[in-house]
Structure 1
Amino acid sequence: MNIVNKLTIRHLIQNKRRTLVTIIGVIISVAMLTAVATIGVSFMDLLKRQTISEDGEWHLVYHNVDGKQIEKIRKDANTEKVILSRDLGFALLDGGKDKYKPYLFIKEYNEQGFEQFPIELSSGRFPQMAEEIVISDEMSEKSGVPYKIGDVLTLDIGERYAFDEEIDYPLDQSFSYMTDQKGKSEEELRDTKAREFTIVGIIKRPTWEAPWSPGYTAISYFDEEANEKENGVNASVVLKKLKGSIFKDTEEFAEEHNIPHENYEFNHDLLRYSGVMKNGGMRTTLYTLSAIIMLIIIVGSVSLIYNAFAISVSERSRHLGMLSSVGATRQQKRNSVFFEGAVIGLISIPIGIIAGLIGMGITFMFINQMIQGVFGVSEGLRVTVTASSILIAVLVSILTIFISTFIPARRASRVSAIDAIRQTADVKLTGKAVKTSKLVRKLFGIEAEIGLKNLKRNKRRYQATVFSLVISIILFLTVSYFTDNLKKSAELSQIGMNYDMSVGVDHEGDDQLIQSIISMDEVTDYNIMTQVNNLKTWIDPQSIADPLRESATFEQEFQDGKYPYYINLYALKDENLKKYAKEVGADYNQLQNGLAAIVIDKAKYEDGGAGKYVETKAIHTKTGEKLDLYTEDWETGKETNLDKITIATLTNQLPMGVHSEGLGGLNLIVSEATLNQLGEGALKEEENNVYLYLNSKDPLKTQKKIEEVERVRHYIHNVYQNRQEEEQLIMLLSVFTYGFISLITAISIANILNTISTSISLRKREFAMLKSMGMTPKGFNKMINYESIFYGVKALLYGLPLSIAIMLLIYRVLMNSFSYPFTLPWLSLLSVVVAVFLIVGIAMLYSSSKVKKENIIDALKQENI
């Protein structure tokens, strides 16, 4: 080791505080980079495992294939595993007590199916022959028939058909048991075949069996050899390699082997979490957004480490000057700084990587409790480490430290011995350099002018502090905007699911039923409404939604100079309407006493051609305008005029249970009195649908309670279960993104405190001189306060425009998959303004408090070494 490097190490040891601060800053930055490199792998691993636990491990399935086609699927180069299954059908369950679940539904799997699908054995074993069967524990507990292992079942298995001639296809498990209003069956089994099975095991109720399914699931063994020539077999495929071309390749394969397009489907959830998406726009959006967030974090890390080294070099300027005076070359001085970076990197990178992995492990522990407690997911996050993720973290960390030391190293190599010892490089004393506006003194006084001059003459430390503030501002605002827009995007993709579950009820005796449900302890909010769908109106061309004017069929739809809009009419109960009218600023009395409606003027839809979700204005009109409502006979196309209805108010706020309409449609919210008046009662009550919408503290528990009410079991739709995945995704991303911003902000604050503290400490002689010339403690405080203001204003002048520019970039990227207006996050902007002045103010007060008690004589004697 040469003498310069030995002196560098000695300097690092002697300046323990500065070295420790730099090392801690680098460790945290490396830990963040490690977390970024690891988190994506771990996160996708969780989502994949959760999807497999719920739906099984398969990438695509071919329905209704024969033996030859199965053989071709097996021989395909990219096929790893093939799971064969078949729905045998339904059989009436003798002695069953549940009149809404009268069947046994029998499904067959080959041996591979019991491994790849989430079939959990409670007791016994899985079937090994076609004559063996396993039944669900729910069947043995709730059906009223005490089945046990070893029992023999003789079943007549067939297909369900409705009595309604318009439903000319067999019904599967997704169709609830069909009855009339009196509970009498409106379906039958056809083409039955007798089969005999021996019960060899009990399984837990499969996750794919819906609460309203009419049959208890039972699983038998699919004997491939015996059924070699049979049709109607489903082949679920696990692929070897997942590529973006999977959709095109499958389409070509199916076409080649005469498999119709409607007979194959993909496991889009599992493919998406494996990084394969059909929507190219969505894939571009996700990758670009990930790149932006990664770049922001890397820039933040580089800037913060750079500041640490820049301040270190600034403080070492006399040390470097002395080396120069005894013969050190430019290269030796530059290498001294690089060597310092290498030493700190050797210490910090291993610790940072370990800290990042441990930090993620601890974070996952807390998050797992949260997601399993709140969302009820069975899987948890686990730290997934790959060689590539660690290598990326190490390489990016080395690159970050190199970039951070490069400019300070160049600056160190150029400083002359005299300038370094006199410290003239950091302190500018020319009149032009420290010139300030006369307006500053007139408006704020001489204290403000002195503070501003000091910032100008200590430009590098001033810029380092402002830079740290700017980075903090940018990181907070962009990550905040990114997370808020993820929520907005998820809301658009769900098309307005603003409730946990819906319950369809009959008109007869529905009040007692509704009351029993809404009085449940878990129910937090509810809405009851009658829905009428077969309505339309005709709109003037200037009032229709903008995207409709661009459609190819725009001109063709016109009749008598007007454009058709279909209408969904929702009549709210008086209590719910009064609350909703107050929220949107409508006149409740007008809604009750006249033919008036609240119009939802927002439309959200999925543009399949553009591959994006769009939010737009549904109609261009104003309060007080009238709409002519018509009923339409779908068979004859004949329209009957009902009445004119007045627009009481326009809003984009949806009442619970109302979905956003697509283009060419309107939602009208009315009172029950208005519904009854329309067309002098022409809308027949029995033809309208009545729904109860609920929000609940525990939707799954609420559903179980409602299921106990026999007459509504098959009307329940639990949106909460469908929404879990999106909310879980957003919540986890929010935790991680805000975790990163908290860490980087913490480093920024530490750097700001350190920079200002160092600056104040080096200005002890200056402060003593000002005090000796008569500056009072009040004047001193004013000067410090004005310096804080100048720091904050300068940081905001740079930080806010840059943040808004990055927000616009994120918005543009999101517009690859979504479409909605750009809005600034005003609350976040206000929070940032307050936080900046608070941070700088506290830093200045903390630092200046240390020098206030300094003796003037001692301070004047001090040399800033």
Structure 2
Amino acid sequence: MATLEDTKIEDFSHTDEIHALPDIDSVIYQKANAVCSIGADAVSEEVKSLGGLETVAGSDVSMADGIYTIQAPIVIMDDSSFATYCEQIGVSSAENGSVVLNRIWDNINSNFRYKEYVPFLSENQDTMTLQNLEDAAATVEIPVLGFTKEPPVLREEYDNYALVQFVSLSTWKQIEKTIGNAEPDTYIRILSEKERTLTELSMIETELTNVLGHDISFEVENRVQEKIDNDAMLNGYKLIIGALCVLLAFIGIANVFSNTLGFIRQRKREFARYMSIGMTPEGMRKMFWIEALVIAGRPVLITLPITVVFVWLMITASYLNPMEFLAVAPIVPILLFIVALFGFVALAYYLGGKKILKCDLVEALRTDYMG
């Protein structure tokens, strides 16, 4: 991706050189803002079945005298790229006009995470009336070359309730003075038509930079490299958080060993009393095991239900498919942590119990009575 700052698409003089770069698919485009007017009868039957455009789009559309006023963002593509796009969707680009992105988000039957679209218009319109955002009297009627549900492959997100217009540069030159409101920057989207290494992608970036020269202020972004860098940062965050969790776990484990091994004398007297009332060493071992299970199991039994409830609430609030979460959830690390928790607690109690059972409990009880 290249962003040409403060550059109009009609002023960009390197279009042919960009398209001539080998084994790439490139699109040069600029964006503008407008609104369009359509009659109530132009809305598709699918939208009407959902309760009407007001129910679906709410305040994003307005209506007066049976005419809807709707946002109509304009994507201005260079003529060559526009012709290629029209060919891909089976629309003739021989005449000037626009391709309308004819879809609207069905927010009644789908959520924002898994959007489903229905046709916006009935596709009976031959023309579209575009209006200047700042001057309601400045309108232009533009032929509709075709309707599509598939936008061109650009790095763009489109409003859920807008009628996006894709036009060629030639068409834009005819309506520019009336519509205006073009954004200041022009964009270049370049896709490799074959598999390439990062080194080869960097070479494309260098070629693009050489074409643009020094007379234009621009910024180039290698999106593949950006993704690799982003993944590396996320892995770094995971490593830091994992290290913090391990540190907290070791602190907890050290506390268990400290409490278990630090009170050997006190435990000796305690079990000496138990022995005096008939408890056997086997009984003391069972008591140690029960204590170890309580010490290790209590935090697990408390935190697991809370974690499950919290995760369920977050999944519900974000409309995430639970299976998608489970596919990447750290279930194995959690299980390993729980096993390690039980293992270290059992080890601490094993070492402490071994010391207690090896000592002279009768002598410890006598010393306790003498004290």
TM-score tier (shorter): 0.3 to 0.5
Report the TM-score, using the length of structure 1 for normalisation: 0.22
Q: Relative contact order (C-alpha < 8 Å, sep 6+): which is higher?
A: 2
TM-score, structure 2 as length reference? 0.47
